[in-house]
Structure 1
Amino acid sequence: MKRNYIILKLIAVFLLFSLLSCEKEKIVIDNPGGYDSDAPFVKLSSATTQILTDISFINKNEGMICGSFGFIAKTSNGGKSWELLNSGINHSFLNAFMLDSKTLYMARIGIYKSSNSGSSFSPLGVLADYSNSIFGICFFNQNEGVVIKGNLILKTRNGGSTWDVQYDSAENITKMQFTSKTVGYVAGGRSYDNSSRGEIHKTTDGGESWQQIHLTDSNISALYFINSERGFYTNYNDELFRTVDGGKIWRKISTVEAGALSLCFTGESIGYLSTYSGKILKTTNGGISWEVVYESANVPISKIIFVDKTMYAIGNNGLFLVKK
């Protein structure tokens, strides 16, 4: 009897360890949830039919958008109406960044700043001396800011009067996100001659120094971090990857809709993805499965952001969407 009891106990221990080892192979959503609502994406006028390339909001009401042929506009009521801004520059802008209600930044080859809520803009520093376009702007305050330009990461400590090269990547950098004043991520890569390559780099000192933390065989199309540790990216192979340790390890979560352009998560479970074909897809299980929640046929949706429990999205033909 005692012998049978010992055997049963050993079997129970074995099964317990087997279950634990299986659990390691599962995709676990550590902090499930994220803000969500049943409200649909609603199309509002953006006061233009041009291609919209970037969007920046500091709260649910105040924001700005930019696009082709020098288009810039700002809103103070969440996009219900827009005030057109005249920068005096006719080329297309790729980036917009709103630091506060008075301080606005626009960029393409060079970077331009307004200190009077967009009434006028002036060029900053000598960024135009570097080739390639600017694909990302982030200012922490009136003095410190970081931009990505081609394969370079540059930083200013004097409000943009001068810029210093902090990092020179092997490939072009097209995505940037800071989760705090100190921790930030950039990503990019290349695709040509039937080959592709993707890279992710990280800073933990506000852009002073950068380290490559991930190298992959496919260019990175979208990048989003929920916080300094947990993030996602999609690549040109239409794969979604996730990290929970600040980019040390990335695990494939799923295959997603082709042509991903932007990612945005409101928490561990709830996330959105926009595509070149004009779709917005939603996940409620951390990216394992997706469903289409908005579609505008053949109108690329280039960016989705989440601010103060509100989703905003922009795209071609002046497309501007809001989801409360």
Structure 2
Amino acid sequence: MERIILLLIILNLVSINLLHSKWTNARDPGVFEDLYALKFVDKDTGFAAGWSRYGTILKTTNGGEDWVKRDSLPYQIFSLNTLDGVRIYAAGSSLINECGLLLLSTDQGKNWIPDLFDGKDRPYSYGFYTIELLNSQTYLMSGLNGIIVKTTNGGVKWDTVHTGVNNEVFTIMDFVDENIGYAASGAESDYENINKIYKTTDGGNNWFVIKERDSLLRIGTIEFVNADVGYLFGKLNSRAVVLKTVDGGQNWLTNYNGRDNYMLAAADIVNENFILTAGEKNYVIRTTDGGQTWVEENTGGVGEGYISVDCVDEYYGYIGATRGLIMKYDLFLDVEENAYDMTDVKLYPNPIDDIGFIQLDETNFQSYQLKIFDVIGYDALTLSGITGNKIELNLRNLKPGIYFYSLILDNKKTITGKLIKL
């Protein structure tokens, strides 16, 4: 019975947190541009790019409060990437030259140099959807006509690698290390229905099919934690779905069945536990326990489709959408509000590194009991027989993440709240 009551308390806290949203608009909608790509260097500095009529590249250095914009570019831009925050890469196509395009900035996005894949100095491609940076010298881009190109000398020379097909479009690519990578494709006659998965074990030089085309499946993206564990986000039949593999893509099992008539289009994996994914009609879900449980997020966005996701870490993240909207995820907004609204107790600091404190304003209680639970309700720490109005919390043995606490005063009064362990 006690466990049920405590779980109800936790569920109530979760609902309160959704009302006090962690999400804010980092950029309002209204501009005729769809932001297919996001890449953040840290919680403050990041880039967004996309296109509708023309290409757009945006940069912020203050967490989305202001954006420096380069627009009316004669490009379609679908992917952004960087290793160091100085050299920034954008992949897409040239509207004027009707060929594949790589944009390179060597000065943190101030200036961009176009590199055309028009069949002259570069292999011909009609356009690219992804760019993967394996190291400072080795990159791959994928796109139309079954083409994947690769450089091993920092872009001086590019070669076309073997995919075995010429009538498919590769819109998704994800590498877990310098050898193992995954890509997803669709038929060029129906390129929006991406539903076939390839794998490489030699750095992208050769690719082989690990999941044949499935007419009921539409893949939004695939993301891997390591060489074995990966997730597929998309739509199966008519429902949003997350599929999971633990054997390097040989078998995929349903990890989450979402809403009907929705699709998950983009995702980012921060670590083996924390994953954020978003899609049609402002649909966002996340897991903090490696897919054991998924929770819907109320972002407050209205009427836009979410098409790109980039998380800095578990506490900061961004979502790009149609019509230029960018949503920002800032867990500390929620923490600050919840931690200090209560008149009876103060928790500090929050987030907690190893040691934290709970300070009670009232001192007429005889004893306290403190219980700390993880997000799915398991008891992570219990302290009994506490006296005094200042409680020390030693959280060194807890894993980083979100926790809920329940402080029981004289077996009568219960105070609940949320804490974050760094």
Name the TM-score, length of structure 1 as normaliser.
Answer: 0.77
CA distance in 2, matches of 1:97, 1:127: 22
Which residue in 2 is equivalent to 1:79? 64
Alpha carbons 1:173, 1:186 under 8 Å: kept: yes
Deviations 1:86-128 (A, max 9, x none): 7x83333222222323211222221121212223222236357
Which residue in 1 is equivalent to 2:137? 143
* AA of the residue aligned to 1:146: L
SS state of the match for residue 277, structure 1? helix
CA distance in 1, matches of 2:218, 2:304: 22
CA distance in 2, matches of 1:188, 1:256: 23
Question: Which entry has the higher C-alpha Rg, 1 or 2?
Answer: 2
Which residue in 1 is equivalent to 2:245? 243
Name stretches of at least 5 consecutive residues in structure 2 with no aligned partner.
1-17, 94-100, 331-422
**1:132-211 counterparts in 2 under 5 A?**
132-150=126-144, 151-168=146-163, 170=165, 171-190=168-187, 198-211=195-208
Query: Kindly tell me: are residues 222 and 132 of structure 1, through their superposed partners in 2, closer, same or farther at Cα, counting changes over 3 Å?
Result: same
Query: Kindly tell me: are residues 159 and 127 of structure 1, through their superposed partners in 2, closer, same or farther at Cα, counting changes over 3 Å?
Result: farther
Which residue in 1 is equivalent to 2:278? 274
Query: Kindly tell me: are residues 127 and 148 of structure 1, through their superposed partners in 2, closer, same or farther at Cα, counting changes over 3 Å?
Result: farther
SS state of the match for residue 242, structure 1? strand
SS state of the match for residue 77, structure 2? coil
**1:82-121 counterparts in 2 under 5 A?**
82-85=67-70, 89-109=73-93, 110-121=101-112
* AA of the residue aligned to 1:100: D
**For 2:25, which of 36, 43, 52 is the aligned residue?**
43
CA distance in 2, matches of 1:112, 1:70: 12
* AA of the residue aligned to 2:153: N
With a CA cutoff of 8 Å and minimum separation of 6, indicate the structure with the bigger relative contact order.
1
* AA of the residue aligned to 1:227: N
Q: Percent identity?
A: 25
Name stretches of at least 5 consecutive residues in structure 1 with no aligned partner.
1-36
Q: CA deviation at 1:295?
A: 4.4
Q: CA deviation at 1:163?
A: 1.7
Deviations 1:206-264 (A, max 9, x none): 22332222224133222121223211113442332101122122112232232221123
**For 1:124, which of 112, 115, 120 is the aligned residue?**
115
CA distance in 2, matches of 1:280, 1:223: 16
* AA of the residue aligned to 1:40: K
CA distance in 1, matches of 2:178, 2:28: 31
Which residue in 2 is equivalent to 1:9? none
Q: Which structure carries more strand by proportion?
A: 2
* AA of the residue aligned to 1:152: I
Alpha carbons 1:154, 1:165 under 8 Å: kept: yes
The yes-or-no answer on 1:62 pairing with 2:68 is no
Query: Kindly tell me: are residues 119 and 315 of structure 1, through their superposed partners in 2, closer, same or farther at Cα, counting changes over 3 Å?
Result: same
* AA of the residue aligned to 2:38: I
* AA of the residue aligned to 1:232: Y
Alpha carbons 1:113, 1:121 under 8 Å: kept: yes
* AA of the residue aligned to 2:224: F
Deviations 1:250-306 (A, max 9, x none): 112232232221123444454332122122123456165542432423201101122
Name the TM-score, length of structure 2 as normaliser.
Answer: 0.60
Number of equivalenced pairs: 286
Alpha carbons 1:264, 1:306 under 8 Å: kept: yes
Which residue in 2 is equivalent to 1:227? 226
